[in-house]
Amino acid sequence: MLGLMQDWPLTVDKIIDHARNWHGDREVVTRSVEGPIVRTTYAAIHERAKRLSNALKAWGIEPGDRVATLAWNSANHMETWYGIMGIGAVCHTLNPRLFPEQLGWIINHAEDRVVFTDLTFLPLLEAVLPHCPTVERVVVLTDAAHLPQTKIPSLQDYESVLAGQSADCAWGGFDENTACGLCYTSGTTGNPKGVLYSHRSNFLHTFMAMTATVMGATPSEVILPVVPMFHANAWGIAFAGPASGTKLVMPGARMDGAALYELIEGEGVTFSAAVPTVWQGLFAHMKANDLRFSTLKRVLIGGSACPESLIRGFQQDFGVEVTHAWGMTETSPIGTIGHLPPEIAGLPYDEQMKWRTKQGVPPLGVELALKDEAGQPVAHDGETFGRLMVRGPIVAAGYFKSDASILDDQGFFDTGDIATVDPQGFMQITDRAKDVIKSGGEWISSIEIENIAVGHPKVELAAVIGAPHAKWDERPVLIIKLKPGETLNKAEHLDHLRGRIAKWWMPDDVVQAEDIPLGATGKIDKKLLRERMKDYRLPESA
């Protein structure tokens, strides 16, 4: 027997309709690429997104066509999302931090027809677009006065495009499983892979993101997504904000410490989200100028492991609570959340740290399993490593234009991460499968060593990779980038680790590097690092 409730397709146009109807005056504030801080509201975003939809239709964009954005976090960028998705076209977020060749490859693979972009990226597009025959037009998110001369044909300014259209346009009316967004993973192995979100998956993810344990989005909060809209959908904030009537503050092109601090204080930001490396710049600025937060209460940190020093720094120096989370492009991206249950939150702060550095438990809607190489369940003892597998309505079932199956026979997606789960249910990422160090048949977690190493006051970045070893196969090497003006003392670094990790996990060597390469999503690029270290030999085996 079927239930007798209404069929109300979960399509994301309803999110911005809701924001317009019930939170229409709530602001979205942007540091514009042109310079000034600009203000708009959900009602205005809704109206302009409708105009954009009409422009797309006038250009012959059909449901299912891919329309790309190459843009910073801004109200304009939000308008393009809703304008594209509302008519059933697919919003393809491009990551400007990719190499031009990769970007071109992705645009061609997606067959993007239109690109919306910020002024910042015109030189990049000038280089890429001659190789992208499917792109028919480029719209710059600016007005006519700011539109520069470029070599790009059919370049238009956004304001003129909107001005020429009516705000009357029908949205939705299609199946909730219709494709809605496309985001490629950065392709640290092989070619980039396109994750194709549906309206339904984004809608359900929005409910998850809004909850108290994740973002706690309400009209009383003010959220600053530092995490870019091109990096796994800004972790859902461009949907959760309007869904809950929360004021959003968009950093545009400037994510340096001074710019972020000014926005946080100036706009009364209470919650923010970013990868760990962003916060280091903010801390440095605040410490140098002896600054404090007056409104910021909580930050969500994920994308790579959050070191203990950052969690303590936020809490002890600035009174800000850190929520550690794990996810990936394929999980929309929220996969687990490190919200502390009362049994752990009631412990002395130092004892909580064991759980605060873990990535937490899945929210409702994510099923999580830890499996061994044979696909068998691994003990939840907090020690045994297993492959992290997930399934649920916000998890990818396949990649765009690929027939390859990415699910196991129980429908679980293999995340490529290695993790443990402890008796309290807290998951901890120990490594990406390709980064794990295999020493004497046992596995060493590079992430755990890195997190402790980066807590040393002289260290800016730390990476651990495996170096070939005659007896043990591989042994860990710690690569360090020091803070400006500091000097390296190898023994000092090893002393800092000693007693905090198992003896046999102690790195065989410490190497100082001028630079540790970061990838397109702000994480250490281990593939490139291994490439740079390919001639390195451990002292014993040299």
Cis status of the peptide bond prior to 377, with omega within 30 of 0: no
Residue 263 phi, psi (nearest 5) = -70, -45
CA dihedral 465, 468, 474, 478 (to 10 degrees): -30
201 binding ligand ADP? (CB under 6 A):
no
Give 64's Cβ-side CA count (13 Å radius): 4
CA dihedral 400, 403, 405, 406 (to 10 degrees): -20
Residue of 107, 114, 224, 429 that binds ligand ADP (CB under 6 A): 429
| CB of 10 or CB of 453, closer to ligand ADP | 453
| CB of 280 or CB of 329, closer to ligand ADP | 329
Residue of 30, 280, 309, 415 that binds ligand ADP (CB under 6 A): 415
261 binding ligand ADP? (CB under 6 A):
no
The stretch among 162-170, 246-254, 297-305, 418-426 that binds ligand ADP (CB under 6 A) is: 297-305
| CB of 86 or CB of 519, closer to ligand ADP | 519
280 binding ligand ADP? (CB under 6 A):
no
Residue of 521, 525, 526, 529 that binds ligand ADP (CB under 6 A): 521
| CB of 82 or CB of 105, closer to ligand ADP | 105
The greatest distance separating any two alpha carbons of the chain, rounded to the nearest whole angstrom, comes to: 73
Active site residue 443: yes
332 binding ligand ADP? (CB under 6 A):
no
The stretch among 160-168, 185-193, 405-413, 489-497 that binds ligand ADP (CB under 6 A) is: 185-193
Sign of the alpha-carbon torsion through 512, 513, 519, 525? negative
Active site residue 472: no
DSSP result, 298-317 = EEEE-SS---HHHHHIIIII
302 binding ligand ADP? (CB under 6 A):
yes
417 binding ligand ADP? (CB under 6 A):
yes
What's the min distance (Å) between Cβ of 429 and ligand ADP?
4
| CB of 45 or CB of 299, closer to ligand ADP | 299
313 vs 322: CA distance, rounded Å: 10
Contacts of residues 100-103 at CB distance under 8 Å and 24 or more positions apart, as own/partner, are: 100/124, 100/127, 100/128, 102/187, 102/192, 103/128
517 contacts 529 by C-beta, under 8 angstroms: yes
In a 10 Å sphere around its CB, with 0-12 CB exposed, 13-18 middle and 19+ buried, how is residue 276 labelled? buried
**Would you state the structure tokens that stand for residue 400, as one six-digit string?**
């765009």
Active site residue 330: yes
What's the min distance (Å) between Cβ of 395 and ligand ADP?
12
186 binding ligand ADP? (CB under 6 A):
yes
19 vs 161: CA distance, rounded Å: 24
Instruction: For the segment 144-183, give every residue that binds ligand ADP (CB under 6 A).
Output: none
* Window 335-374: contact mask with ligand ADP (x via CB under 6 A): ------------------------x---------------
Question: Which of 30, 80, 185, 329 is an active site residue?
Answer: 185
**Would you state the structure tokens that stand for residue 465, as one six-digit string?**
């990779």
DSSP category for residue 133: T
266 vs 250: CA distance, rounded Å: 12
304 binding ligand ADP? (CB under 6 A):
yes
| Best CA proximity match to 234, nearest among 47, 95, 97 | 95
What's the min distance (Å) between Cβ of 300 and ligand ADP?
10
The stretch among 142-150, 361-369, 411-419, 495-503 that binds ligand ADP (CB under 6 A) is: 411-419
What's the min distance (Å) between Cβ of 273 and ligand ADP?
12
Active site residue 185: yes
| CB of 315 or CB of 512, closer to ligand ADP | 315
Residues that bind ligand ADP (CB under 6 A): 185-186, 188, 232, 302-305, 324-329, 359, 415-417, 429, 432, 521, 523
Catalytic residues: 185, 330, 438, 443
